[in-house]
Structure 1
């Protein structure tokens, strides 16, 4: 498996295919996508899983973690999550956070994320803000 920066159009295609199959590509674009870093996990040259990360000071928000339907449960999203945690440690960031679909909270908890009190609904899904904080000594 190789984890690397991924072409934006490939990320959009994966988001649409996995998260919103009935929608067009325009629907899956985020308003701030051009400020994001788009990361993908590849196996044998094929894109399997993607995430987009956005730096806000010493915090990083990751959005739209998606894995190809036929490859889910094989560790690709976990590898991306571990890559992000390693990145946060290397950069000595304060916090990682996401808007998690409520049916996916157990996945994030495995990586040390905790639920916050922030909940909302969007596009027919229920979400909760989850975060993982880091503490580094100066």
Structure 2
């Protein structure tokens, strides 16, 4: 069962964002700020030619952490493909890509249910929980990619 990671288009990832991250919402609710910036990268994980997981990397500083940073957004794996380490593969690839782009830091607004997943990959929590309306409880999480961050 070949698994591949590749760059994909925004149009390709929107249905998975909708299914996993915004169920019951219209596709218009699945667009994120900076989705179409020239520095933004959309990743797709394919399982036997089926797009099974996605993640977006956005060049976006964090005011408390680092100016030279990328933000991980919209990481999701379709339900039928979960529990296969696909999320870990996406996270590793996203981290590697941010490092290749000479970012000092990778950060995200992580859902409360995903904290342990990110902590296993050495991401740290910054501050207190906050609510994203209609989405749920989140925490800022980060990982330094260089010693200078």
Provide TM-score, normalisation by structure 2. 0.85
Instruction: Indicate the structure with greater helix content.
Output: 1
Alignment match, 2:29: 27
**CA distance in structure 2 between the aligned counterparts of 1:86 and 1:39, rounded to whole angstroms:** 12
**CA distance in structure 2 between the aligned counterparts of 1:136 and 1:114, rounded to whole angstroms:** 15
- CA-atom RMSD in angstroms: 1.5
8 Å CA contact 2:126, 2:140 repeated in 1: yes
Structure 1: segments with no counterpart, 5+ residues: none
1:16 maps onto 2:18 in alignment: yes
Change (3 A) 1:113 1:20: same
Of 79, 103, 106, 1:69 maps to 79
Structure 2: segments with no counterpart, 5+ residues: 61-66
User: 1:85: Cα distance to partner?
Assistant: 2.0
Of 107, 120, 124, 1:97 maps to 107
**CA distance in structure 2 between the aligned counterparts of 1:2 and 1:82, rounded to whole angstroms:** 13
Provide TM-score, normalisation by structure 1. 0.91
**CA distance in structure 1 between the aligned counterparts of 2:100 and 2:22, rounded to whole angstroms:** 33
Alignment match, 1:50: 54
User: 1:124: Cα distance to partner?
Assistant: 4.1
**CA distance in structure 1 between the aligned counterparts of 2:145 and 2:35, rounded to whole angstroms:** 25
- Paired residue total: 137
**CA distance in structure 2 between the aligned counterparts of 1:95 and 1:62, rounded to whole angstroms:** 11
CA displacement 1:45-65 (0-9 Å, x = unmatched): 110000111013520101010
Partner SS for 1:51: strand
